[in-house]
Structure 1
Amino acid sequence: MTKRMGYPDWRWQALWWHHFFLLWSTINGQTRYSIPEELELGSTVGNLGKDLGLGLTEIFDRKLRVASEAGKQYFSVDAGKGELVVNDRIDREALCGQSVSCVLPLQVVIENPLQLHRIEVEIRDVNDNAPSFLKSDHVIEIAEHTVVGVRFPLESAEDPDVGSNGLKTYTLSKDDCFTLKVKEIENGRKIPELVLNKSLDREKKAIHNLFLTAMDGGNPVKSGTSKITVNVLDINDNVPIFENTFYKVAVQENSANGSFVITTKATDIDEGLNGEIEYSLGIHTPPSVQSLFYIDPVTGDISLTKQLDHETQASYRIDISAKDKGLPKMEGHCSVQVDVLDVNDNAPEIVLTSKPPSVPEDSRSGTVVALLSVRDFDSGDNGKVNLQLPKRSPFTLKPSFSNNYALVTSGALDREKLSEYGIEITATDSGSPPLSSKKTIPVRITDVNDNPPIFSQPSYNVYLKENGVAGSILYSVSASDLDFGENAKISYSILDSKVQDVSVSSYVYINSDNGSIYSMHSFDYEKLKVFQIQVQAKDQGSPSLSSNATVHVFILDQNDNAPAVIYPSSAALGSLSHQRMPRSAKADHLVTKVTAVDADSGHNAWISYKLAEATDASLFTVNLYTGEVRTKRAVSEQDDSSQKLLIEVKDDGEPVQSATVTVSILMEDGLHEPILDLRQKAAEPSKKNGRITLYLILSLASVSVLSVLTFLILAVKCIRSSRSSGSCCMSRSDCDDYKNPNRNLQIQLNTDGPIKYVEVLGGDMLSQSQSFRSCMSPMSEYSDFTLIKPSSTTDFKEVISVLDASLPDSTWTFESQQQHLSISTTHNCLKILDPTTQNI
């Protein structure tokens, strides 16, 4: 408040304390304070923290602050006390002009969590302005013999204060010819008028000096004075009279300079110069209004000199004067009210109240992202604003109060799809045409561990040669994670499982960083053909997520086993195998048959026989594929009775593996030749042999039909299956064979040299080889089956022992085709092999 000289300090202090105890009130749920203007800096407005229910610690921790919508920061918060204090000089007249109500809206922002409150501070008027006149001297010319009662408008005083502190009354110094009449017009405005109370007589008194005093209603009263000089003129006794004493017109604020406003018209019944009228803006028109309007002195037309602005001032009052040219001049007056119509010339403005924080992607719907407000300086429908967000945006606007909004989430967020949003908010008013503005609010989405690692493929097939170096890399699996940072860091591990009753971790280990799988030792195909590894990829999120993939390791056979001779067996009969034959044997006589097996598979197990050394190489020959030892010619009397043959057995692997067997042949005279009997029996087959032959035919026919059907089924499935680089068999296993507990069949018709056999294979990937071989003795009359069980890993010495125990040497001298049936369970597919070409 402004202090004036002559007023004691105690009055000012009493007034300050009177306003202080009436500081604040709450209206409609909003905190409202009331203070006088011109308070000293640092003066307390109210305890804001207490009124908002906040403690001193919360005020500091949650960063309580205020923001003024008026632009200038008149207030601040004392964080130590929670009080709202004056931060700058507050001049009510500068803020609100002549408005009766002067309220400053404030926004109180509280962070962590984010809240917005609205408070209002009412600025009460203080009588710090005295009434004043625009001119200190006012000259009025009045003709003598002017009719008593004529009124002459005087200059009004202006007092920026309002209410009781505003202009209250006028007084006039004493004069017998004049009195003062105060006229109250619209809006409570008071206009002093000088009333002629007695006819003037220039000869008695030509000049009247009067003093007009304007006083306000403050305490103490303040006043202002203007001197009025009345010059008494000779008669021009008719005053110009306007057709209307009050005109009212509406003009759009976007009207161009020079636009016509209204025409005022006055008449004077005098003749000549006394009846010629000249128009002008009256003395009661403020200079600010005079700069906006122009009146034609001849026609009385009012036009614009500048463009109007409804937002600056919505209405203007213009005083018009009409003077004649007589002597003395007579003057008539009227008033024109110009209302400025609002035009939608201000676009809405979006004000961001708080800075948007980062939002976790798993935030619930309704999470507050930002606070904002919108304003439009236009009025009516032109100032009504609607906010709009883009379609399909996972955000929405929740209205708060007084054009304040909260931007909240309205749907699920996914950082992997979009890590940052630029939320474009469009504000459009209701004007015609509507105006709009846009504001983009950036919102960053933070990652949450909601995506498990994903392997490049659900299962992997690895083919590994046996006898490899321990520590060599088998394969590298890879997984990816759509998350970010620690949530996307992946570590690999092998889940514990059993391979041949041994933990898989004893076979392989994995690099936890890059997924590379290494062997712990060398593998033996004859002991382990296939095993499975469950690899887990786990991220480092909290909680961590994981996924698994299966690695199927297939051991590929190498030629690391030499052929083993199972007949004739040298282990049972010493270092030599002794055979007998008649000296009367003819050419192509079957002496014996060498049978060998190889623990390897495929080409590595194909066996061939060769006569390496012989007592008489011209007498004997060995079949390359069957191992049958026959005579090349008839035995003569000159041939030695004792013959030794060294037979070499070789496989087809790389490098070649071989074994030898020594056969000792003793030729005797008069030895019965069972071969002839056997041929006779073959010519007249017995019932038993016929029954065995029938069984063999039925078995081979069943196997053939099964093979054809299986082949057709696989062909149809391969055609229907998706594109794959692997074989049909592998595609089948990748899809669902591992889930099917039923074992498939694999039938092989093989010929390894002299051995004819069929392999029926089946089982899941984890089943180990279970081989059941049925060997038919070539010499047995009833062709009994002898079942033995070496798997591919069985020591073939056991096979030799079993065969030696079940097949006496003498039975092998008969001329018969050895037949060998093998049934084994290994892989999960079916193969049909040509027994002669070994092709699938």
Structure 2
Amino acid sequence: MAMGGVCRAALLRVLVLHLAWALVGGQVRYSVPEEAKAGTVVGRLAQDLGLEAGEPEARRLRLVSQGRPASVEVSGASGALVVSSRLDREELCGKSAPCSLRLEVLVERPLRVFHVELEVTDINDNAPVFPAARKNLSVSENSPAGSRFPLEGASDADVGANAQLSYSLSPSEHFALDSQKTNEQNIVPDLVLTKPLDRETLSVHRLVLTASDGGRPALTGIMELVISVMDTNDNAPQFNQSVYKVQLPENATEGTLVVRVNATDPDEGINGEMTYTVTNFLPLSGKGVITVSPRTGEILLTSALDFEEVNVFHFRIEAQDKGSPPLSGHCRVVLEVLDVNDNAPEVFVTSLSVPVPEDAAVGTVVALLSVSDRDSGANGRVRCTVWPSAPFGLVSTFAGSYSLVLREALDRERVSEYEVEVRAEDGGAPPLRASRGLRVPVSDVNDNAPAFAQAVYTVLARENNAAGAELARLWARDPDEAGNGRVSYSVSESGGGAAVSGGGWRPASSYVSVDAESGRLWALQPLDYEELQVLQFEVRAVDAGEPALCGNATVQLFVLDENDNAPVLLPPAGGGPGAGAAGSAASGADSGALWAWATWGAPAGQVVAKIRAVDADSGYNAWLRYELWEPRGKGPFRVGLYSGEVSTARALEEADGPRQRLVIVVRDHGEPARSATATLSVSLVEGAQAALAAASSGSLGAVLRPAEGGAAAAASAATTTTNVWLVVAICAVSSLFLLAVVLYGALRWAPRAAVLSGPGPATLVCASEVGSWSYSQRQSRSLCVADGVGKSDLMVFSPNFPPPPGSAAKEVHPEAPALQETVSGAPFLPPSLPYFLPILPSPLAPCFPFCCPLGRRWCEPSEPHLHNL
């Protein structure tokens, strides 16, 4: 009973300790044998942790690995702990026992951590292993019985009973086995000589030592015991070869077996046991290359080989026995190092001649290069290429030397610099490669002339511009660099000029100049449209190269008219008394007094006088209109707006008085407008007196007013000679009427082209809104608005440069086709100017452009005299 109570108390303590560990420490403990197959269930982890069915997957039950990956895992569906990979207790714990693994299990929702202890139990999966498969022992043949020879025991990686070893020896007449226990587990065997040996009877005894473990079933390991019976030392060791020749590649790793030398000694026992040493290193650097095993004679490589440094090593090996006195033998080892392709080629630039001028000839040497490879044979044969393959190439001069030469012509403007790579490759397997980059800049030569963006530049400039005003900027491109691309500009001396009014020729350099550096074209003096309408010249661009190259561009400078001239009154036609009088050029200035006669009772529309004026400007600036300034209101006279003819507005009556003073303003259409003033005195006389006055004046028109009292004298003279001059007046009027009819018919039926165009093809150029007109120096035809006055308001010419497409004229005015039918040749309109094209009258109502008001295609019925122009 006492013993039973003690057992129950011990069991109770174990249960309490297990419960405490479960609550505080691991909570769950499992055991699994090593080498269990994957998928083996270790334990129902979810159930042991108190989780219901389905909870493991819902609460994401999983292992948390720490350090090395665990060989077990949790099955997601069932929550069981299963083996996932091979379990090797010896690998996990070695000789430690027991072998326990601590695992952490994580459960979410709520988050909790459990500790699981997994014990891996040992199985007998390792057999005993001896340090060597064979053990050589030398026993002197004179050794007494009972001599002991310690043997090396076996080892077993298992633990416990599986590692408890026992030894047995194969049957022998002379030897026995004595096992001695050093501790609870280790047993060391000793070989005991039980009977004296006789070398002459048997020189070698071969026994088998067997080690068995305590597993079920037991595993065994064996070691062969070779026991040599030694005799006295009367023979020296002898090598089987006097010279050992060995070849090793230079990339052999350390520890490589070079050769095993072997020496034999006919003696037995200690007299036949030898030790090997190496001596006589040649070269001395080979001392650290090899080492020899003193017992086995194995020569091992101890450092890296380098064929490029030493390709042959010589060693002497000595074998010495352990006899007394010891005897020795010698042999020689020759180690030949074989080359491997372990050195890449090297590329060196011996000479580099840069930059290369872009006009360098094909075959020019750019660089000298040398190539080397420290390897030998095919490993040291190098071939070179250049990339890119153009425009350079490689020429081999002699072994290992190359010239980089020019294969194609260069163009710096296309490529200013080349990045050349020289590539070298040896003949090894696999081949090694190397490359060397070269930067080859290309130097510039003056092979590009400056080029203007346009062959012809059209420049517009207003007259009266300030001296030094910039007209345009010209630019020529030269793709060369530095001085070869630095362009200077100048006006060509033989590049052109202009004919000036009044005759003569002036070069273009007297009007314009160009800045040598910037190409800025500026005026040397104010331009005058009345003197110069167009200036054509050449601008030359010259670079600073050697020799210098140049390019030319033509500049057509068109001068735009401004309203800088006031209308000027002309003297009456026919050279009357006032012939040669001129109006003032100042705006609003009185030009002097004119006088004319009018007959009492003259009907409305009868022309009394004609005011003539001219304007040196052009276009709108020269388009004149006449306005009756005084008297204002409904006077007996009126003035044609564009003809200047003074006619009766109604029948003249005696209430109008004997004399009417008319102030007529002649104004142009410029901005601002300029004007001149004429004063006309109209004397109202009888019909006969008017005829005499007209005959005496020689024409029907206005004349200068005579001195004071001259009118009375003229009237008196006319009265006394009424009968004579009446006949003359009738004849003169009849002649004038007949001449007017003839001129009207000629002008009415003559072809328009005969008036507007001369010989050769003609081109119509119209005025712009600002009053400028294009013209030609070759041929010009003018139309007039007054008798005897030539105007250039509308000119037809043959151009000195190709006209643009005829479609440009259609954009000017909707009535352009009517004009094209009248004027021979296609109209030309400079594309850079806005144009106003007056509409020519139709054949039914002929009217010249500047005779009719703007936009009218026929004249007023009250101006029938205009049709006679």
TM-score by length of 1: 0.54
Q: Is the 8 A contact 2:386 2:393 kept in 1?
A: yes
Q: What's the CA shift for 1:826?
A: 12
Match of 2:437 in 1: 440
Q: Give the direction of change, closer, same or farther, for the CA distance of 1:601–1:402 in structure 2 (3 Å limit).
A: same
Secondary structure, aligned partner of 1:621: strand
**Pairing 1:465–2:468 present:** no
| Superposition deviation, residue 373 in structure 1 | 1.1
Gaps in structure 1 of 5+ consecutive residues: 1-233, 704-741, 753-758, 778-785, 795-820
Work out the CA distance in 2 between the residues paired with 1:289 and 1:421: 50
Helix, strand or coil at the partner of 1:638: helix
- Whether 1:516 and 2:520 are equivalent positions in the alignment is yes
Alignment of 1:556-567 (within 5 A): 556-565=560-569
Aligned to 2:531: 527
**1:457–1:549 contact (8 Å) kept in structure 2:** yes
CA distance in 2 between counterparts of 1:750 and 1:297 reads 120
State the Cα distance separating 1:306 from its structure 2 match.
Answer: 0.5
One-letter amino acid matched to 2:616: A
Between the aligned partners of 2:418 and 2:548, the Cα distance in structure 1 is 27
Superposition pairs for residues 16-31 of structure 1, below 5 Å? none
The answer to whether structure 1 residue 340 and structure 2 residue 337 are counterparts is yes
What is the match of residue 400 of structure 1?
Answer: 397
Alpha-carbon shift at residue 531 of structure 1 (Å):
0.7
Q: Which letter does structure 1 place at the counterpart of 2:553? A: A
Q: What TM-score comes out, normalization by structure 2 length?
A: 0.52
SS at match of 1:512: coil
SS state at 2:331 partner: strand
Aligned AA for 2:298? D
Cα distance between partner residues in 2 of 1:476 and 1:751: 26
Deviation (angstroms), 1:400? 1.3
CA distance in structure 2 between the aligned counterparts of 1:443 and 1:751, rounded to whole angstroms: 61
Shift of residue 657 of structure 1?
Answer: 1.9
- 1:746 equivalent to 2:764? Answer yes
- Other-structure match for 2:508: 504
CA distance in structure 1 between the aligned counterparts of 2:343 and 2:622, rounded to whole angstroms: 95
Which has more radius of gyration? Answer: 2
Whether the 8 Å contact between 1:532 and 1:551 is mirrored in structure 2 is yes
2:365 to 359, 364, 368: 368
Correspondences of 1:118-137 after superposition (within 5 Å): none
* C-alpha spacing 1:449/1:345, structure 2 compared with 1 (3 Å): same
**Aligned amino acid, residue 377 of structure 1:** R
Tell me: CA distance 1:824–1:267, structure 2 relative to 1, closer, same or farther (3 Å). Answer: closer
Equivalence map 1:139-538=2 (5 Å)? 236-283=233-280, 287-455=284-452, 457-496=454-493, 497-500=496-499, 501-538=505-542
Q: Is the 8 A contact 2:233 2:272 kept in 1?
A: no
CA distance in 1: counterparts of 2:326 and 2:336, whole angstroms: 32
Change (3 A) 1:520 1:608: same
**1:535 and 1:548 in contact (8 A); partners too:** yes
Relative distance call for 1:660 and 1:629 in structure 2 (3 A) is same
TM-fit CA distance, 1:431: 2.0
Whole-Å Cα distance in 2 between the matches of residues 443 and 337 of structure 1? Answer: 52
Matched with 1:773 is 783
- How far did 1:664 drift? 4.4
Pair 467,243 (structure 1): closer, same or farther in 2 beyond 3 Å: same
> Are the equivalent residues in 2 in contact too, given 1:398–1:407 (CA < 8 A)?
yes
State the shift of 1:525 in Å: 0.6
- Determine if contact 1:526/1:792 at 8 Å carries over to the other structure: no
| Residue identity matched to 2:371 | V
* 8 Å CA contact 1:241, 1:267 repeated in 2: yes
Q: Counterparts of 1:370 and 1:305 in 2: how far apart (Å)?
A: 46
Q: Supply the distance in 2 between the matched residues of 1:834 and 1:524 (Cα, whole angstroms).
A: 25
Q: Is the alpha carbon distance of 1:606 and 1:686 closer, same or farther for their aligned partners in structure 2, counting shifts above 3 Å?
A: closer
1:379 deviation in Å?
A: 0.9
1:315 touches 1:339 (CA, 8 Å); kept in 2?
yes
Q: Decide whether the 8 Å contact of 2:232 with 2:271 is kept in 1.
A: no
Give the structure 2 partner of residue 732 of structure 1: none
Equivalence for 2:656: 639
Alpha-carbon RMSD across the aligned residues, in angstroms, is 4.4
Deviation of 1:456 after TM superposition, in Å, equals 5.2
Give the Cα separation in 1 of the matches to 2:606 and 2:274.
162
- 1:747-826 superposed matches below 5 A: 747-748=765-766, 763=776, 767=777, 770-773=780-783
Asked if 1:629 corresponds to 2:646, the answer is yes
Spell out, residue by residue over 1:69-126, the C-alpha distance to the aligned partner (whole angstroms, 9 max, x if none): xxxxxxxxxxxxxxxxxxxxxxxxxxxxxxxxxxxxxxxxxxxxxxxxxxxxxxxxxx
Q: In structure 2, give the amino acid aligned to 1:479.
A: A
**3-state SS of the aligned residue for 1:377?**
coil
- 1: CA distance, partners of 2:263 / 2:363: 69
Contact 2:769 2:836 in 1 (8 A): no
User: Per-residue displacement from partner, 1:294-349 (whole Å, max 9, x unpaired)?
Assistant: 12222222210100001011222333333333344443443333221212222222
The offset of 1:485, in angstroms, is 3.3
What amino acid sits opposite 2:521 in the alignment?
I
- 1:693 is aligned to 748
Alignment-mate amino acid for residue 693 of structure 1: R
> For the Cα contact (< 8 Å) 1:613–1:645, is it kept in 2?
yes
Displacement of 1:751 in angstroms is: 13
Aligned to 2:674: 657
The answer (yes or no) to whether the contact 2:665–2:678 under 8 Å persists in 1 is yes
Amino acid paired to 1:609: Y
Deviates more, 1:305-314 or 1:396-405: 396-405
Q: Which amino acid letter does the alignment assign opposite residue 538 of structure 1?
A: V
Aligned counterparts, 1:34-113, within 5 A: none
Distance change (3 Å), C-alpha of 1:750 and 1:837: farther
Structure 1 residue identity aligned to 2:529: Y
How high is the sequence identity, in percent, across the aligned residues?
38
> Aligned to 1:548, which of 549, 552, 555?
552
CA apart distance, 1:748: 4.3
2:627 — aligned with what? 610
Taking a change above 3 Å as real, the CA distance of residues 280 and 322 of structure 1, as seen in their structure-2 partners, is: same
Distance 1:409 1:274 in 2: 80
Counterpart amino acid of 2:270?
L
